[in-house]
């Protein structure tokens, strides 16, 4: 039987990056003379930059999305480098899963520079066997491409993978990939998350290698 794997989203799961992303996008909004509110930002959190521009700044032409997206990501990395916001229990869960023999991967909508900065902040660069970021996929969540590519890199069948996510789009992507979706509440309330997840937790400290193994083994 294949080994089990856990694929983590990065933002809002391993890194409490919501405020840093909001601040970076708001800095960009001020720079573009079209400020945004938190209420406008919330539905876009976890999506790819191109899609966020289409929702929040439709006046920005598509050929400018990459330039302004990179501007925003530089601001984001500046923020988290100054005050790194790790999620409570993230390091302990990664260490426990690694010690239990799980394959580990990151499946993120962010650019690889953000993932690298986050893993450096966590001090767990060597713990992950595969990383898939936005530049490796053509379609963002809720399309399952990012998670399917992560499973392929790990050499683990999708049915043997659990995905830990905080967003509705990410949970839908995990389910569409044929994986076990596990939700971390915080970015979104429990109610909507529970409709898409096999399990909803309020903290990573509620997860363990044994609990995730049980969920994966029960997945049909």
pLDDT at res. 1: 59
Report d(CA 104, CA 151) in Å as an integer.
Answer: 9
Q: Which residues contact 60 (CB under 8 A, 6 or more apart)?
A: 32, 53, 68
Q: How far is CA 98 from CA 26, 92, 157, 169, 175, in A?
A: 37, 10, 18, 27, 24
Which secondary-structure segment (H or E) carries 200? strand 199-201
Question: pLDDT tens digit string along 51-98?
Answer: 999 999 999 999 999 999 999 999 999 998 888 899 999 999 999 999
Residues 43, 40, 77: CA angle, nearest 5 degrees:
80
pLDDT at res. 79: 92
Q: Is the pLDDT of residue 220 over 80?
A: no
User: Which domains does the chain show, CATH number per domain?
Assistant: 5-16+85-218 (3.40.50.1000), 18-82 (1.10.150)
Q: What are phi and psi of 5, to 5 degrees?
A: -140, 150
Q: What is the mean pLDDT of the chain?
A: 94
pLDDT at res. 160: 98
Q: What is the mean pLDDT of residues 35-48?
A: 89
pTM of the predicted structure, to 2 decimals: 0.85
Q: Which residues contact 143 (CB under 8 A, 6 or more apart)?
A: 137, 173, 176
Question: Can the peptide bond before residue 142 be classed as cis, meaning omega within 30 degrees of 0?
Answer: yes
CA 164 to chain centre: 8
Q: What are phi and psi of 150, to 5 degrees?
A: -65, -45
Question: pLDDT tens digit string along 107-144?
Answer: 998 888 989 999 999 999 999 999 999 889 999 899 99
Question: pLDDT tens digit string along 160-199?
Answer: 999 999 999 999 999 999 999 999 998 888 999 999 999 9
CA 182 to chain centre: 12
Q: What is the mean pLDDT of residues 5-24?
A: 93
Report d(CA 39, CA 104) in Å as an integer.
Answer: 33
DSSP string, 21-90: HHHHHHHHHHHTT----HHHHGGGTTS-HHHHHHHH-TTS-GGGHHHHHHHHHHHHHHHHHHS--BPTTH
């Amino acid at each position: 039987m294949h080994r089990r794997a856990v694929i983590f989203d990065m933002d809002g799961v391993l890194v409490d990056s919501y405020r840093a992303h909001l601040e970076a996008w708001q800095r960009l909004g001020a720079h573009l003379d079209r400020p945004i509110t938190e209420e406008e930002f919330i539905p876009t959190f976890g999506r790819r930059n191109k899609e966020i521009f289409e929702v929040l700044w439709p006046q920005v032409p598509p050929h400018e999305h990459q330039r302004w997206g990179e501007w925003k990501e530089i601001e984001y990395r500046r923020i988290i480098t100054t005050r790194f916001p790790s999620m409570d229990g993230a390091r302990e869960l990664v260490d426990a899963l690694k010690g239990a023999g799980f394959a580990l991967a990151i499946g993120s909508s962010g650019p690889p520079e953000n993932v690298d900065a986050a893993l450096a902040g966590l001090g767990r660069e060597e713990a992950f066997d595969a990383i898939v970021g936005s530049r490796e996929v053509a379609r963002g969540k809720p399309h399952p491409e990012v998670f399917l590519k992560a499973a392929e890199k790990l050499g683990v069948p999708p049915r043997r993978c659990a995905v830990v996510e905080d967003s509705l789009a990410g949970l839908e992507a995990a389910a569409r990939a044929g994986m076990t979706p596990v939700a971390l509440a915080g970015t979104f309330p429990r109610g909507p998350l529970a409709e898409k997840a096999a399990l909803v937790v309020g903290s990573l400290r509620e997860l363990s290698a044994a609990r995730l193994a049980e969920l994966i083994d029960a997945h049909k």
